Structure 1
C-alpha cells in the first residue's frame, strides 16, 4: 500500500513537470493573416453537473490554445464556491467535435494558498509565449472587490499582478459596473502586448447597452514585459440584438472576449441576451490603426466626442444567420485545423452552473 501511494505521488509530480515543461516551451501557433468570413462547422456540449477530478466542470468563461501541445486551457468562473478557483486542460478533437478534460490546475493567491470563496471572479485566460498563464478577474462591486489581471506559473502559482488604472476601480460614481468589467484577455502573437476591455461602459463614460444603443467600452493595451498599460481605446458595442419579452425584461449586450490577430487587428466577441428570447453572438474584426488613445481622458461623458475615433469594426459572424441557438458564449480562441485543413475558431459557453443552460463547444472555420 505504501509503495502504491509513493508511485501515485511520483506520477503526479511527473505530470506537473511535464505540463510546466510543455507550457514553458509554448508557442501560440498562429498563422492567421486574412479572415474574410467565419463558417459554422458544428457544436458539442458537456452534460450539466459533469465531474472531473472531483470538481464540477462549468462556468467556462475563457479559453486559450497551446498549439505545440495541441491542448486548450479553459478558465472556470467559479468564485472558489464549488471548488477552489481553477483552470482545466482539455483535449479537443476538431475534426470529430469531441472534448475531453485531461487535467485541472488550481490557482494560488499571493500567499500561496487557494483563493478563499468570493475573492476572485476569473473570466478570461491567455497563454504567453514563455508559458505564463494570465488571468483576468472581474471583481465584485457589491463587495468592494477590485478587478485584477495577474500572471500565474503553469502550475497555478501567483507570480505578479498588472496595474489597473485608477479610473477603472469601483466607487459610487466611477469605475467598473458590477458584472460588466474585465471579461476579455488576449496576447499578441509576438508576445509583446496584452489587451483587455470592459464588457460595458465604466460609470463615468456612459450607459449600458440596450435595444436602442450600444455601450462605450474601454480597451486597455499593456506592454507585457513591463506589465504597464500603454494606451486605451474606445470600443462601442452593438445594441441588444432583440427586444426582451416583456418589453421591460432583462436585456444586455457586452464585449466578452478579444483575440489578437496581430498588434493592431483583433477579433472581438459580443454576446447579447434578451429575456425569453435567448442569446445572440456576433464576432467582429476590429482595427486599432486610427483609433484615438483615450488613456488621458477620465470621463467620456465630459470629453469632446468629435475628437475621439473609436476602433473600427467589421462583422464576420452573426449567430442569427447560422441556424444554431448559442448558449451563453463567453470565450473563443484559434484552434487546430479541421479535417479540410482550414484554421478554426473554438468557442465555449458559460453555463453558470445552471441546469437550464448548456456548456457548449462551438467550432467555426476561418475563411481566408
Structure 2
C-alpha cells in the first residue's frame, strides 16, 4: 500500500517543476528584447511660428528628428538645399513634463551648420538632407537624397554634433546611384528620406521613399510602390542586407490639382531584432494622408544581391511584414506634411512618448507641426504573461 502511495506522489513533484521548465524554455527561445506596440494615444500638437528665424537662419524644412535622452534635446534636420541658408540641423527642446504636448512647448535653441570633410560648407544644391539618427558618440548620421536629375548621388554621412564637421561617409551600393541612361538608381526626390539606428548602435537602416527605377513604378493614385530597406553594419560601416517594403495604395480625395505624391519618409528601430515603426505619407490633392505601421523583418527575403526586381520578378520575394498601427485621418487634427519620427522620453505615467514632425517646405500655406503620442511597448514574454495572467492587465 505504501508503494502505491509513493507512486501517486510523483506527479505532484512533476507538477511543481513543469512551470519552472516552461519558464526556462520561454526565456531561451522567445526574443526577450523584441518589442511590439500594444497601444497608442494622441497627447497633443504644437506648431512653430511661421517665418521663425534662429541665428539668422529660417527654421523650416524639418524632415527628420532624433532624440538625445542624455541631454533631453532633439535634433532635427532641414532639407533646405542651401537656398535659405547653409545645410544645417537644429537643436530643439520639447516639454512633455505634463504628460501632453501644448502650444509653445517646442523651442528651437541652436543651429549647427554642416561642414564637409574639408571643414567647408556644402555648396547650394549639393545636398538634400532628409534623415537623421543619433549615435552614442556625440555624432549623428544624416542622409541626403542627392539630385538624380543632376546626377548628384545620395549619401549617408556621419557628422560631429559639436563642430558639424563630416567624420565618415558610408558606401552606397551601385544599384542606388543614378546614371545618364536613366535606367537605374533612385528617382529624383524619392531616395533616402529615412534613417534609424538600432538601440544597441550596431546597425543603421535607411530606405528609398519610392522604388528604384529598375525595381518598379513610383507611387501613383491607388498604386503603391516597392521600396528597398538598406541595412548597414556600423562595426565596419558596410552595407550588408536589403529588404523589400511595399507601400499601401492611397486613393486621392477631391484632387482638383491633379498632384499626387506618396511614399515612405521615415523608419524607427524599436529593438535589435528587426522591428520598426514606419511612416507612410501621401499628398492626396486635398490634405495629407499619414499612416503609422509596425514593421518586422522576420521572414523577409534578403534582396541585397538582386540589382533589379523587374528583371527577376518580385512576386515570389517575401516582403517585410506590416501591421497598421494608426491612420492619422482618424485624429481630430489638421495634418501637415509629416516626415520624421522619434521616440522621446518616458512620460510621467511611465509610458513611452513618440514625436512626429512635419516639413513645411518653406511654404507660407504650410506649418512646422509637431505631434506627440504615448505608446505602450511590450516584449513577447510580457504579452504571453498577460494572456496567461489576465489580472496583470489591471
- Give the TM-score taking structure 2 as reference length: 0.83
Matches of 1:327 and 1:174, distance apart in 2:
32
Matches of 1:76 and 1:135, distance apart in 2:
10
Asked if residue 216 in structure 1 is aligned to residue 226 in structure 2, the reply is yes
Instruction: Report the CA distance between 1:269 and its aligned residue.
Output: 0.5
Structure 2 stretches of 5 or more lacking a match? Answer: 1-32, 378-394
1:324-363 equivalences in 2 (<5 Å): 324-363=333-372
Q: Counterpart of 2:167?
A: 159
Instruction: Report the CA distance between 1:32 and its aligned residue.
Output: 8.9
Q: Counterpart of 2:192?
A: 182
Matches of 2:51 and 2:315, distance apart in 1:
50
Equivalent in 317, 323, 329 of residue 320 of structure 1: 329
Q: Counterpart of 2:114?
A: 107
Contact 1:86 1:104 in 2 (8 A): yes
Superimposed CA distance per residue, residues 58-81 of structure 1 (whole angstroms, 9 cap, x where no aligned partner): 000000000011110000111122
Q: Counterpart of 1:6?
A: none
Contact 2:128 2:145 in 1 (8 A): yes
Q: Counterpart of 2:209?
A: 199
Q: 1:56 to 1:195 in 2, by over 3 A?
A: same
1:17-36 equivalences in 2 (<5 Å): 33-36=35-38
Q: Counterpart of 1:309?
A: 318
Contact 2:131 2:142 in 1 (8 A): yes
Instruction: Report the CA distance between 1:358 and its aligned residue.
Output: 0.4
Superimposed CA distance per residue, residues 30-89 of structure 1 (whole angstroms, 9 cap, x where no aligned partner): x99331132111110001110111111000000000001111000011112211111111
- Structure number with greater Rg is 2
Structure 1 stretches of 5 or more lacking a match? Answer: 1-30
Instruction: Report the CA distance between 1:105 and its aligned residue.
Output: 0.6
Matches of 1:323 and 1:190, distance apart in 2:
36
Q: Counterpart of 2:146?
A: 139
Contact 2:279 2:292 in 1 (8 A): yes
Q: Counterpart of 2:183?
A: 173
Matches of 2:250 and 2:42, distance apart in 1:
22
Q: Counterpart of 1:289?
A: 298
Structure 1 runs (4+) deviating above 6 angstroms are none
Matches of 2:214 and 2:39, distance apart in 1:
35
Instruction: Report the CA distance between 1:112 and its aligned residue.
Output: 1.0
Matches of 1:45 and 1:321, distance apart in 2:
20
Asked if residue 86 in structure 1 is aligned to residue 88 in structure 2, the reply is yes
Contact 1:48 1:353 in 2 (8 A): no
Q: Counterpart of 1:14?
A: none
Deviates more, 1:181-190 or 1:339-348: 339-348
Q: 1:244 to 1:161 in 2, by over 3 A?
A: farther
SS in 2 for 1:298: coil
Instruction: Report the CA distance between 1:243 and its aligned residue.
Output: 3.8
Instruction: Report the CA distance between 1:258 and its aligned residue.
Output: 0.5
SS in 2 for 1:307: coil
Instruction: Report the CA distance between 1:212 and its aligned residue.
Output: 2.2
Contact 1:184 1:256 in 2 (8 A): yes
Root-mean-square deviation (CA, aligned residues, Å) is 1.5
Instruction: Report the CA distance between 1:116 and its aligned residue.
Output: 1.3
Contact 1:58 1:76 in 2 (8 A): yes
Q: Counterpart of 1:256?
A: 265
Contact 2:35 2:275 in 1 (8 A): no
- Give the TM-score taking structure 1 as reference length: 0.88
Q: Counterpart of 1:23?
A: none
Contact 1:244 1:251 in 2 (8 A): no
Equivalent in 115, 127, 130 of residue 123 of structure 1: 130
Instruction: Report the CA distance between 1:274 and its aligned residue.
Output: 1.3
Contact 1:75 1:88 in 2 (8 A): yes
Matches of 1:32 and 1:39, distance apart in 2:
21
SS in 2 for 1:214: coil
Superimposed CA distance per residue, residues 78-111 of structure 1 (whole angstroms, 9 cap, x where no aligned partner): 1122111111111110234311112111100122
Matches of 1:338 and 1:241, distance apart in 2:
36
Aligned length: 336
Instruction: Report the CA distance between 1:140 and its aligned residue.
Output: 0.7
